[in-house]
């Protein structure tokens, strides 16, 4: 299994790394959030730019991106526009989605970009190639906020991400029963044992799924999302508690 190193953070070995989302809607909120993150024991910061009310203006995104980078100094930044159909805050035309991601890859301000698997194979592949040209890593992903697909389907989607050239493959699904949580964990474990040749990130959302957000080292998920003040998805555990639970599991393995 290939690991992925972003600055001094290595995904795919040791305990899962903690990624904390920023969900500010305004410039003031984002700056405050970025400053608050400096106090937290995190590995990666995710900027959920779909929350930003000026996200449809490229120049404004870049301008605040410069300030966020200044505040966060060397911290790895994952740039994410989550589309409405996958649980995000707003919809933009897919041409704009790719333009926005391309601009950020070219800017040198971010280390990773989040690209949704179902945005079209050709466009996704082209984005992967551009990211490689700019030494930016691609976290390819898929979300189901209503249900947990069958195990085979979860595995197929993660394998498709590998085929399309993802550096990291991520899936988040919603359980409607504890059996669904086991389905997600079992798919993760089978990926680890049979198919994954690079880091994968999986989670079962909501309260029932919390166990999946802490058990990544056991079953094969390389990163977990922890909450600062405001969670970006249901079930995210506050960062300090998350770190201590990850450490307990790490020390026992």
Ligand X SMILES: O=C1C[C@@](O)(C(=O)O)C[C@@H](O)[C@@H]1O
213 assigned ligand-binding residue? yes
33 assigned ligand-binding residue? no
Q: How far apart are CA 54 and CA 49, in angstroms?
A: 9
* Three-state secondary structure call for residue 223: strand
Q: How far apart are CA 158 and CA 66, in angstroms?
A: 33
Is there binding between residue 202 and ligand X (CB under 6 A)? no
With tokens 């770190």, the residue in question is 243
Q: Which one of residues 225, 237, 243, 246 is an interface residue with ligand X (CB under 6 A)?
A: 225
243 assigned ligand-binding residue? no
Is there binding between residue 137 and ligand X (CB under 6 A)? no
For the chain, how are helix, strand and coil distributed in percent, rounded to 5? 45, 20, 35
Q: How far apart are CA 100 and CA 105, in angstroms?
A: 9
Is there binding between residue 33 and ligand X (CB under 6 A)? no
Stretch that binds ligand X, among 2-10, 102-110, 178-186, 230-238 (CB under 6 A): 230-238
Q: Which one of residues 214, 233, 239, 242 is an interface residue with ligand X (CB under 6 A)?
A: 233
Active site residues: 143, 170
Is there binding between residue 98 and ligand X (CB under 6 A)? no
DSSP letter string over 7-45?
A: TTEEETSSSPEEEEEE--SSHHHHHHHHHHHTTS--SEE
Name the residues that contact ligand X, by CB under 6 A: 21, 46, 48, 80, 82, 114, 141, 143, 170, 172, 203, 205, 225, 232-233, 236
Annotated binding site for 3-dehydroquinate: 46-48, 82, 213, 232, 236
Annotated binding site: 46-48, 82, 213, 232, 236
């Amino acid at each position: 299994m290939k690991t992925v190193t972003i600055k001094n953070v290595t995904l795919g070995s040791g305990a899962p790394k903690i990624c904390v989302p920023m969900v500010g809607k305004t410039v003031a909120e984002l700056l405050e959030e970025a400053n608050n993150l400096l106090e937290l024991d995190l590995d990666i910061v995710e900027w959920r730019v779909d929350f930003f009310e000026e996200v449809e203006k490229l120049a404004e995104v870049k301008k605040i991106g410069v300030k966020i980078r200044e505040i966060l100094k060397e911290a790895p930044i994952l740039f994410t526009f989550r589309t409405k159909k996958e649980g995000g805050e707003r919809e933009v035309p897919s041409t704009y989605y790719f333009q926005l991601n391309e601009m950020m890859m070219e800017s040198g301000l971010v280390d990773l970009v989040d690209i949704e698997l179902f945005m079209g194979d050709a466009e996704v592949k082209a984005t992967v190639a551009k990211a490689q040209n700019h030494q930016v890593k691609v976290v390819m992903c898929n979300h189901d906020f209503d249900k947990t697909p069958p195990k085979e389907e979860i595995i197929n989607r993660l394998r498709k991400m590998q085929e399309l050239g993802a550096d990291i493959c991520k899936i988040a699904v919603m359980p409607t029963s504890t059996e669904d949580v086991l389905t997600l964990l079992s798919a993760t474990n089978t990926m680890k044992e049979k198919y994954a040749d690079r880091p994968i990130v999986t989670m079962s959302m909501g309260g029932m799924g919390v166990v999946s957000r802490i058990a990544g080292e056991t079953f094969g998920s390389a990163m977990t999302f922890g909450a600062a003040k405001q969670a970006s998805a249901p079930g995210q555990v506050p960062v300090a508690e998350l770190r201590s639970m990850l450490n307990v599991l790490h020390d026992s393995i």
